[in-house]
Structure 1
Amino acid sequence: MRFPAYRPAKLAYLLSFLGLVIACAAITDKLVLKREVETLRNDGDQRLAQYSSTLARDIGQYAVLPKTVSLDPRIAALLTDPNNRARLRQVDDYLQTLNDQVGTLDIYLIAHDGHVLASSNWNQPDSFIGRDLSYRLYFREAQPGKVAEFYGIGTTHNTPGYYLSSAVSVAGQPLGVVAVKVSLDQLEKSWLQAESPALLSDENGVIVLSSVTGWKYSTLRPLSPTLQRQLDDTQQYNRRRLQPLGLITRQTLDDNTHIVELRNIQTQPPAFATTGLFLTKTHAIKGTPWQLTVFYDLAISRNLAHTSAALAAAGVALLLAGSLLIAARRRARRTALRNVELSASNTRLQQEIRERREAERHLKAAQDELIQASKLAVIGQMAAGVAHEINQPLAALGTLSDNAREFLQRGDSQTAQFNLERISQLVLRLGNITGQLRSFAKRAGTELGAVDLAVAVEHALSLLDSRLRKTSVVLRRTAPDETLYVHGNALRLEQVLINLLGNALDACQDHPSGSIDIGWQCTGARVRLWVADNGPGLSDEALSHLFEPFFTSKPQGLGLGLAISASIVRDFGGSLTAGNRPQGGAEFELDLPVGNQHEAH
C-alpha cells in the first residue's frame, strides 16, 4: 500500500506479459500440430506405396496361373468328355499337386453349366465337386485368354479369398472356367506390425482386409437397398451382415486426406486406438476398384503440440522474467551479492543450454537410427517376398516343361518351342528379380575421383554389344576431341550408363529404323551427357513418377533401375533428368561436375 501510483502500470505490464506468453503458446501449438500432420501425411504416402506394391506383388504372382492351367490340354479334354473317369482323376490329381506347390487355397474347374467338375480338394469331405457356382461373378465374367479378378467369401468353408478365373474354350466355343482362390491373410498380418490401423475396401465400400479385426466386413458408407439385394443374390460376402463403420469426416485436407472421428469402436485386444480423431490417407489400387486407407491417431500429435506450446510459453516466460529481473536489478543497483546471484543464474542458464543442445544431438542420432532401421525393415520385407515372387514362376516352369515334353512326344515341335521360350523368359525373370534386389540393397561406399567419360561409355557399350548386334538399331555418338573427366566412380557411372542405354534399346527395338544418340559436352565446371532414342517417348504419368522406386512401364520390370541411377548420380553431386524430344522419342540427361584428371582412377 506504500506505492499505489505504480499499481496500474504494473497491472498493464503484467497483462501484456501474460498476453505475449499465451500468444506464443497458441502459435507454437498451431505450428507444431501442422508440422506433425504434414509428417503423418508423408508417412502415409510411404505406407500406402509400400502396401500397394506388396498387394500388387502378392496378387500378381498368381495372375497367369488360371490362364496357364486353362491351356493344359487335359483341361479341355475333360470338359469335352466330362464322363471320362480316368481323365477326371488325372485332372483332380494335377490340380491338387499344383495347388500344393504354389500355395493357393483352392484350384477348381467349372463346367459350362456352372457345376464344379474337378477340384484340388476332390478327396476331401467338403469337396467342391458337383457344387453349382453359376451365380458367382468370377464364373460369369470369365473370358478366354483373360483373367477376371474378384474378392469374396466362400460359401462352402466361409473362408474369404481373392478369386482369379479364366475361361476355357476350343475353336471359339466356351467349355468352362478355371478358378483359383488366393489367401490375403499374410498381407493382413503384416499390417499388425505397424503402429496405426490400415484397411482395404472394395468397389462396394466394404472393408475386406483390416489390421483391426472388428472393422472387417464393415462398410465405409451405408449400402443402398439395391446394392444390398445384389450382394445377397451373388453371395459375394456369404450374406454377412454389413454394418457402417461409423466414420465422421471432420475436415478435408485434400481428395485423399481427411481428419475423421471414430466413436465407440472397441477391439479385443485393443492393438490400436480406435476412438477419437484420426488422420486418414487413401490410395486407389491401380487396375482395381479397391482403395487402401491408413489411419493415424491424432491424440499423440495433439499432445506433442500442447507440450511444445507449454515449453514455448515457459521459455518466453523465463526470458521475460529474466529481462524484468535484470532491469529491476539495474534500476535498483543492488549490492554485489545480487550481482553474484545473477552470475550464478546465468551460469545455470548456460548449463541448461548445453544440456538442451546435448539432448538435441541425442535426439538427432536417435532419429538417424530410426531412419536406418526403417530402411532395413523395408529391405527385409522385400527379401521375405522373394519366395512368393519366385514360387509362381517355378510352378509355371513345371507346368510348361511337362507340356513341352508331351508336345515333343506328339511331334508338335512348334508348340513345344513356344513353351521352351516361355521357360527361358521365366528364368530371365527370376534372374532380374534377384539382380535388381541386390542392386537396391547395396549402398555405395567406394571412393570418388576423376573418371574418363569416354572410357566409361565405351565399357558400358561393350557390355551391351551382344544386344546391339541382335537389333537393327543405329547408335550415334557425339563427343568432343578432348578427354573429359567427371567427378564420380567408374563402376557406378557405368552402371548408370548401362541402365540408360538398355532402356533406350528397349524403347526403339521394335522401330523399323530405330536409333540411339549418345553424346557429351563440357560447359564451364559441368559436363552434360545425353542418351536419346526415337521410340514412343514417355507418357505424362511416367514423367511424373519416373524416378520413384517400383514404378515401371515394362511388363517384367521392377522399377528400380532409374531410381538407383538417380541416387548414384546424386552421390556424384550431379542430377539425372528426363523428357521427350520434339521429333519423337525420349531423352535422358546427366549433369555431372568436372573431375580433376590428377585424381583419375
Structure 2
Amino acid sequence: MTQRHAQRSLALVLPAILALALALSFVGFKVSEGTSIDHLVERGRQRLDLYETSLEREIDKYAFFPATLGLERDVVDLLVNGGEELTQRINRYLAELNKRAGSLSIYVLDSRGHVIATSNWDQPDSFIGEDLSYRPYFHDAMVKRTGRFFGIGTTRGEPGYYLSSPIFVDDHSVGVAVVKVSLEQLEQSWSTVEAPVLVTDENGVVILASVPSWKFTTLVPLTQERRGELAQSLHYNARPLPPLGLRSQGAVEFDKAEIVQLVRPDIEASQTFPVSGLFLSQSEPLRGTDWRLTVLSPFGDLRTMAWLNAALAAAAGVILCIAVIALYLRRVRLWERLRAREALQRAHDELERKVEERTRTLKEAQDELVHAGKLAVIGQMSAGLAHELNQPLAALHTLSDNTVKFMQRGLLEEAESNLTLISELVTHMGTLTSQLKSFARKSTGAPRPVEVRPSLENALFFLDRRLSQRSIRPEIDIDSGDLAVLADPNRLEQILVNVLANAIDAVDGVEAPRLSLSARRDGDRVRIEVRDNGPGFSESVRTRLFEPFFTTKDSGGGLGLGLAISAGIARDFGGSLSAVNLDHGGALFVLDLPYAAASEIIDA
C-alpha cells in the first residue's frame, strides 16, 4: 500500500468519522438524559412519600385534642352556664394542657364565635373576648365537622395550623374547641434535606417551605379581585403574597412531573441544596386537605452530566474509528498482535465467567448462611417450647391414667384431686403459648401507655432458654407503683429482646455471668437500663454499634440489624437507645422513653 493510497483512503474516511462522532454524541446525550430523568423522577416520588408521611404524622399528633376538650364536663358547663370562677379554672387547665402538648394555643369559642377561655388568658395579647366567627375552622366545626385551616393569627401575627372540633350538648353544637399548632420544627427538618420542598394551600399560596423566604409566596400570580377577598378575610393577615417565580420549561414524559426554572436572589443560597436554576417539579395532593406537596429536584447537574456523557461517547467513537484505521493501515504488521489480543480477550472473558460463577457461588453460600441463621432461631424457639411443654404433657398422661383407675375403684376424692392438677397444668401450658402468641402478634405501631414490668417479663420469657443454658439469673430492679412508657407493647418487647440477647452474647464465656435490669422514672422520662459483666466494647465498635449490618459476630451469627432497628423504634417513640462501657467492666445499654401513667392504659 502506497503513501498516496493511504492518504486518499484517510480523506474518504474522515467525513464518516465526523458523522459517526456527531451521531454518537446525540445518542449519548439522549440516553444519558433519559436515564438520569428516570432516576430523578423515582427519587422525587420517594421524597414525596417521605415528606407527606412526616407532615401527616406531625399533624396527627394533635388531631384528637379538640375532640377531647369536648368531653371535659367543666368545658361544657362553661359554655352552658358560664361563671367567672369556672372560666378561670378552664383557663388554667388550657394553659397547662398547651404547655404539655407543645402547641401554640388552645381556646374555646361559644356558638357566636367569641373566645370564652384560652391558654394565653394571662398574656397581654390574650384571645379572651375576640370574635373569630369569620374563621373557616369555626364554620366547619359548627356544622358538625372537624375544621382544618392554615392561617396567620390576627393577634400575634403568628402562622399556624388550626384544628377545630364542635362541642355538643344533646346533639346540638354549643361551642368549638380549637388547637393551634406550629409546623416550624417540620420545616427546619426539611431545610437539611437534599432537595427543596414546599406545601401550597387551596389558594396556591406557599404555607410551608424548606426555604423560609419562600413562605407566603404564590406559585401563580393572584388576581386583584382574589387578593381583595383574601385581605378582607384576614386569611394571611395582610401579607403581600408575591409570586415565587416558577416558570415551566415543559413537561417530561411522566405523570405529575415537569421541568421548571426558578430565579431567586443569591442571599437565599442554601448549604444543602440549590434554590435557583432548573428543577424537576413533582406534586401531589395531601390526603384529607386541599393542600398540594411539591418537591423540586435540582435539574442543572443532570444536563451537564448528559453533555459530558455525550462528549465521552463522541470521543469513544472517534477513538474507535482511529483504531480501526490504524488496524487497516497496519494490517500486515499487526496481524500477530491482533491474534494475541483475541487470545487475551478470550482469557479475559473466561476469567470474567469464572469470577461471575464464583461470585454467584459465594452469594448462594451467604444466602444459605442467612437462611440457616433464621432456622436456628426457629429451632431455639421450638426447642424451648418443647422443653417447657414436655414435662407437663408427661404429667398429664400419668395423671389421666391414674384418674381413670381411681374412678373405676370409686376413689372419687383422689380422682378429683388429679383432675385439679390436670387443670392447673393445662392453665400453665396455655400461659406459655399465649405469651409466645402475644410476642409474635402484629401491631399497629401506634404509641400508647405500656407498663414496663410485663414487657420485661415477656422479653425474659422469650429468652428463658438461652438464660438457662448459660446459668444466668437476671437481677430485676423496677420502681414500685405504676411505671409505664409511651410506646407500642410489641415493639417495646422487640427492643428489650434485642438488647437482652446482645447482653447474653456478651457474657458468653464469662466465668460468673451477671445480667441486671432496672427501670426508673426521671421526671417525664423513663430510663430502662441493661447491664452485663462481659468484656465491653472498644471505642471503634461503640461508635458503629447502631449502624445497619455492622456486627462483631462471626458470619452466620447475625446480620447486624437488631440494635439498628431497636434504635430506630426508640426514636419513633420519642426516645433513644445508647450504650457505654462500665468503669468496673461490662457494658450498659440505656433505653430512654417518654413517661406515661399506667392508669391510662387501655386494653387493645
What TM-score do the two structures reach when normalised by structure 1? 0.56
Structure 1 match to 2:326: 325
Question: Are residue 81 (structure 1) and residue 138 (structure 2) matched?
Answer: no
Q: How far apart in 2 are the matches of 1:433 and 1:290? A: 35
Structure 1 match to 2:502: none
Cα RMSD (Å): 3.7
State how 1:326-341 maps to structure 2 within 5 Å.
326-331=327-332, 333=333
Q: Percent of pairs identical after alignment?
A: 36
Question: Are residue 229 (structure 1) and residue 228 (structure 2) matched?
Answer: yes
Paired residue secondary structure (2:260): strand
Q: Please tell me the residue identity of whatever aligns with 2:283.
A: T
Q: 1:311 Cα shift?
A: 2.3
Q: How far apart in 1 are the matches of 2:270 and 2:487? A: 41
Paired residue secondary structure (1:219): coil
Structure 1 match to 2:274: 273
Q: 1:203 Cα shift?
A: 0.7
Question: Are residue 210 (structure 1) and residue 267 (structure 2) matched?
Answer: no
Q: 1:88 Cα shift?
A: 0.6
Q: 1:235 Cα shift?
A: 0.9
Q: 1:75 Cα shift?
A: 0.9
Q: Please tell me the residue identity of whatever aligns with 2:218.
A: T
Q: Structure 1: give runs of 5+ residues left out of the alignment.
A: 362-387, 395-426, 443-601
Structure 2 match to 1:247: 246
Paired residue secondary structure (2:92): helix
Q: How far apart in 1 are the matches of 2:270 and 2:99? A: 35
CA contact (8 A) 1:215 1:245 kept: yes
Q: How far apart in 2 are the matches of 1:118 and 1:316? A: 78
Q: Please tell me the residue identity of whatever aligns with 1:296.
A: S
Structure 1 residues 299 and 429: alpha-carbon distance in aligned structure 2, compared to 1, 3 A threshold? same
Paired residue secondary structure (2:308): helix
Structure 2 match to 1:153: 152
Structure 2 match to 1:537: none
CA contact (8 A) 2:6 2:329 kept: no
Paired residue secondary structure (1:221): coil
Paired residue secondary structure (1:295): strand
What TM-score do the two structures reach when normalised by structure 2? 0.55
State how 1:56-455 maps to structure 2 within 5 Å.
56-82=56-82, 84-143=83-142, 146-253=145-252, 254-271=254-271, 272-331=273-332, 333=333, 390=447, 430-431=487-488, 434=491
Q: How far apart in 2 are the matches of 1:79 and 1:269? A: 51
Structure 1 residues 217 and 116: alpha-carbon distance in aligned structure 2, compared to 1, 3 A threshold? same
Q: 1:80 Cα shift?
A: 1.9
Q: How far apart in 2 are the matches of 1:231 and 1:223? A: 10
Structure 2 match to 1:376: none
CA contact (8 A) 1:144 1:166 kept: no
Paired residue secondary structure (2:124): coil
Structure 1 residues 311 and 433: alpha-carbon distance in aligned structure 2, compared to 1, 3 A threshold? farther
Structure 2 match to 1:41: 41
Structure 2 match to 1:476: none
Q: 1:122 Cα shift?
A: 1.1
Q: How far apart in 2 are the matches of 1:325 and 1:10? A: 10
Structure 1 residues 435 and 291: alpha-carbon distance in aligned structure 2, compared to 1, 3 A threshold? farther
Q: 1:183 Cα shift?
A: 0.9
Structure 2 match to 1:16: 16
Q: How far apart in 2 are the matches of 1:289 and 1:8? A: 72
Q: How far apart in 1 are the matches of 2:330 and 2:219? A: 65
Q: Please tell me the residue identity of whatever aligns with 1:48.
A: L
**Which segment is superposed worse, 138-147 or 86-95?**
138-147
Q: 1:270 Cα shift?
A: 3.1
Q: How far apart in 2 are the matches of 1:89 and 1:133? A: 21
Q: Please tell me the residue identity of whatever aligns with 1:294.
A: V
Q: Structure 2: give runs of 5+ residues left out of the alignment.
A: 360-444, 450-483, 500-604
Q: 1:141 Cα shift?
A: 2.0
**Quick check: which has more Rg, 1 or 2?**
2
Q: Deviations over 1:76-112 (max 9, x none)?
A: 1111233x11101110111111111221111011122
Paired residue secondary structure (1:175): strand
CA contact (8 A) 2:269 2:275 kept: no
Give the count of matched residue pairs.
Answer: 369
CA contact (8 A) 2:268 2:275 kept: no
Q: 1:16 Cα shift?
A: 0.6
Paired residue secondary structure (1:209): strand
Structure 2 match to 1:30: 30
